[in-house]
Structure 1
Amino acid sequence: MSLRSEAPLVKICGLSTPDTLEAAITAGADQIGLVFFPKSPRHVSLEQARALADQARGRAAIVGLTVDATDGAIDAIMEAVRPDWLQLHGSETPERVAAVKQRAGVFVMKAVGLATAADLAAAEPYAQVTDRILFDAKPPKDAALPGGNGVAFDWTILKPIDEPFMLSGGLSPDNVAEAVRISGAAAVDVSSGVETEPGRKDAALIAAFVHAARCR
């Protein structure tokens, strides 16, 4: 298997322990994601996140994932964790995204849920106010979480997009190479696809995912 000429950026999201974070960095992940959403099994406290961020700093970019966070919550994350990116994974409006970006002074990515090609229109208003769009699968109607549900969507609907984007939703070591080939994604994001149970990451699956993402 040969390496791609332009291997996609890889983000491992929902890390919560020093061992699995170390596994992600050792495997070559470009970004590590820390989840600040109490309903998620991947949620970390500010104290946990501070220690994990210190472990990763200078070795991988640190992403703080929030869901409709208040200004106070954003400020607390920035002060304690000092992430390189904020990932907004709720129902934030373009105006809210712009306000968060200005307030935090870091890169911001916005998650947009997709099920059909018609859903792509929802991403357009964010193009001018975010540093990256993350396309994720729309959560099932009864889902408690906006992401990390292990659900995929039809990657072919992303083919017409010219701007670099991140792909998420139902990715795993078994399908990420095909997902990149079909969608043309410049970056990929995984959470549940490298877990043995919700919230429990597996070092071997992380390594397999990074390798698969970067090889034909």
Structure 2
Amino acid sequence: MEDKDEFADIFSFLEAMYDSNRTAEERPGVGQFVWVPVPERDGKPWVADVVRSAPTSHDSAELTIRRYDSQQDFQGKGSRLPIHALNLTDNHELMISRAKKRLCLIVGQTEGADPYSLPEGPQRNKALNAFHRHYILAPLYSVSSPAKATSFGSVMSARIRCLMYPEFFWLPKTPSIIRENSVARLDHLLTDPLIHGVSPENHFISDEARGFIADQLRILCGDEPSTEYLELQEVLLDDLPDVFK
């Protein structure tokens, strides 16, 4: 891949991609990087048919793992004995997915709702486990290097650096946290309460870079980005070398 200095890209218009002055607080915050178990996406999901190992057991089962079948899954399985450890009802299925702990960028968060602000009784009881704080995360995927080929080769990488795709945001490698040049995938956003199996990093994206991502999220939501973003995008794409167009 050509060196980033050989053509104008987002780096030419950013004072800093990362914020070296910000430090981690007790709770993770927007703009922070965090390691999170991320399920791998597959074209056709895997389903585990669950059957009790023994008629009287509620905490052991036998699994038959197969691909999703629209003719039988989520159609109701009234003959299935309940397995309390899994809490599966007639219309539940057990979906199987491999997961990898990935570095993610926190692009948003919800504060949740205080259940004790609701009237006592059914409303409050239901809310106790329903409205926790959640974080909106963009997982990072490394770009191709001489040692490893990925989906983000030199052409895709150059285009992303010039803001061609609103669903991708380029993140250069750092000495320790981001070990390879990477792409934050805004098309793979996920939510997580960041309670189990997570590891926050004392590493943050700059406010200026967050502004670019905010504009890209506006585009993905069907809204117009800022005028500044559109003008910069036009300049970068006009100057993008023909070999990358």
> TM tier, shorter chain?
under 0.3
More strand by share: 2
| Bigger radius of gyration among the two | 2
Higher relative contact order (CA 8 A, sep 6+): 2
- Per the normalisation by structure 1, the TM-score is 0.21
